[in-house]
Structure 1
Amino acid sequence: MILLNGEIISKENASINIEDRGYQFGDGVYEVIRIYNGSFFELDGHFDRLKRSASEIHIELPFDRTTFHTKVNELRSVNHVENGHLYMQVSRGVAPRNHPFPAKSEPVVVGYTTEYATNETPAPGRAMFTEDIRWLRCDIKSLNLLGNVLAKEESKKQGYDEAIFHRGETVTEGSSTNVFIVKDQTLYTHPANHYILDGITRRAILDVAKDAGIPIKENPFTKTQLLESDEVFISSTTQEVRPIIEVSGNTIGTGRMGDVTAILQKAFKKRIPNSEQ
């Protein structure tokens, strides 16, 4: 079952108009929300970010917070998903193809769930640097992901798990993750401005780092600083806290998950709804 414009229907009975602007222009926004033990993780944070992203491209969400909560929980329940994620997107709607916004169009909302067999954290990974040639509003979680897709595909071809973007010498984020480094027990990550998406998991990590007394600096850092750091890890809704032990052929630190990353990984697990950690 899927969610389509407020109604939960079977996937077989669903259809999207070929003139949907999400399909033709990438004119829309989306969220991916993790489900743990039958509960959504940071659901209000995801709603707030979805609403902000929509507002930034002048789309008014066709539902309020209460309706959002009701519908996504109904969808999770009818699909019996205990562990997995919900994907939801909102496009500007259907209109004859023309670049300016249509005078009249109703947003199209699509949501569906994906179930996970386990909630295991991915093993330590390897990443590569790639120049960040995306647009300058990466803070908007829009449907325009071609730059991210191309970078991820290239990293896969070269045998890496992630592509780490940089603008000149400054590291921004991963193709589908936020990037953190640790140097001398201090946590560094790029500030939440228009160069990166302010990840929900990123925010949770900063919260647990504060609780753990780990110094935090939301400052830009360079490729060289990343390579010379003691630890590197990435974060996302699906990967949580994942250590990176090699970047573009360079071993990071000891080549194993560092102490600070381990602390944050464990602390993050404790924030999971109904967690037994």
Structure 2
Amino acid sequence: MENLAYYDGRIGTVDEVQVPFNDRSHFFGDGVYEATMGANGVPFLVDEHLDRFYSSARALDIHIPLEKPQLKELLIELLAKVDGDTHFVYWQVTRGAAMRDHVYGDDMDGKLWVLIRPQALGSFRKPVSLVVAEDKRFEYGNIKTLNLLPAVIYSQLAHRAGAAECVLHRDGVVTECAHSNISILRDGVLYSHPNDEHILRGIAKTHLIQACYRLGISVIERAFTLDDLYDADEAIVTSSSKFCLPVGQIEGVAVGGRAPELLSDLQDEVIAEFRAHTGSTVLD
């Protein structure tokens, strides 16, 4: 298949599968999601993504209709149906379908969605540009909810500025990006925002930290400021599709580029993990 859509047991292309009008995602964004990359039929770090998926659903009292092992098996089965070498693998669960009402029934069964499409990984070596905006999102940043309007607004702001991402801050303290985490290297130490209610516990960020440990790089999980970001030896954006992306500019100001060998070692390490997990050799 050129792409695949799955909804509540129905499988087709994205143009074929239809969603009921009363699905609560349409009215309330009432659901949670996960996404990863797949290669050679293997969803990368799928167990950790599933752990976070079920944790997000529990936090919002949403019932996932499959147990974790069943969902993992389903994702692998669906991934095998789609053409291509590397894929974007996305899944979400909504609270269910019912007549519009803010109050929901305790016996509602969640509706599972899956989207899989071919997607190239590209290179992670070329530095990207960022913009900056005040973080005005709600106080559930640690839940991967479907309420992504703030991420849409900040991503569009970056796009119009010709930037790859938008760095968010609260009174000058960096939280994360519109749909990524951001960390910095300074004097041989990786600094990363702690996993609190203001940021999503990024799986790619977690594995960047683990790569640091394997390489003997010290890690301090502590919030840093915009000034720290501009003055960093290197700034690194991490996400499920961009494992270790270097930053070259922020708001038109050159940043990073002062620890290229350390950055390259980290990139090599996370790429090696992806290759070991999936058997793919697509990354350079």
Say yes or no: TM over 0.5.
yes
C-alpha contact (below 8 Å) 2:63/2:108 kept by paired residues: no
C-alpha contact (below 8 Å) 2:233/2:259 kept by paired residues: no
C-alpha contact (below 8 Å) 1:20/1:95 kept by paired residues: yes
C-alpha distance in 2 between matches for 1:100 and 1:259: 55
TM-score (norm 1): 0.94
C-alpha contact (below 8 Å) 2:232/2:255 kept by paired residues: yes
C-alpha contact (below 8 Å) 1:84/1:113 kept by paired residues: yes
Stretch deviating more after TM superposition (262-271 or 1-10): 1-10
C-alpha distance in 1 between matches for 2:66 and 2:188: 44
1:84: Cα distance to partner? 1.3
TM-score (norm 2): 0.92
C-alpha contact (below 8 Å) 2:247/2:256 kept by paired residues: no
Give the one of 219, 224, 242 matched to 2:222.
Answer: 219
Give the one of 100, 103, 114 matched to 1:100.
Answer: 103
1:100: Cα distance to partner? 1.7
Residue pairs, 1:1-277, within 5 angstroms: 1-117=4-120, 119-121=122-124, 123-254=126-257, 258-272=260-274, 273-276=278-281
C-alpha contact (below 8 Å) 1:83/1:119 kept by paired residues: no
C-alpha contact (below 8 Å) 1:39/1:82 kept by paired residues: no
| Structure 1: tracts of 5 or more residues without a match | none
1:112 and 1:81, CA in 2 relative to 1: closer, same or farther beyond 3 A? farther
| Count, aligned residues | 276
Give 3-state SS (helix, strand or coil) of 1:240's partner.
Answer: coil
1:231 and 1:120, CA in 2 relative to 1: closer, same or farther beyond 3 A? closer
Tell me the alpha carbon deviations over residues 188-208 of structure 1, each in whole angstroms, 9 at most, x when there is no partner.
010011110111111111111
1:12: Cα distance to partner? 4.6
Stretch deviating more after TM superposition (11-20 or 47-56): 11-20
C-alpha distance in 2 between matches for 1:121 and 1:58: 37
C-alpha distance in 2 between matches for 1:164 and 1:12: 34
C-alpha distance in 2 between matches for 1:210 and 1:221: 20
1:253: Cα distance to partner? 3.2
What is the aligned-residue RMSD (CA, Å)? 1.7
1:103: Cα distance to partner? 4.6
C-alpha distance in 1 between matches for 2:200 and 2:58: 15
Identity %: 28
C-alpha distance in 2 between matches for 1:4 and 1:75: 12
| Structure 2: tracts of 5 or more residues without a match | none
C-alpha distance in 2 between matches for 1:227 and 1:50: 33
1:118 and 1:243, CA in 2 relative to 1: closer, same or farther beyond 3 A? closer
Letter in 1 for 2:64: L
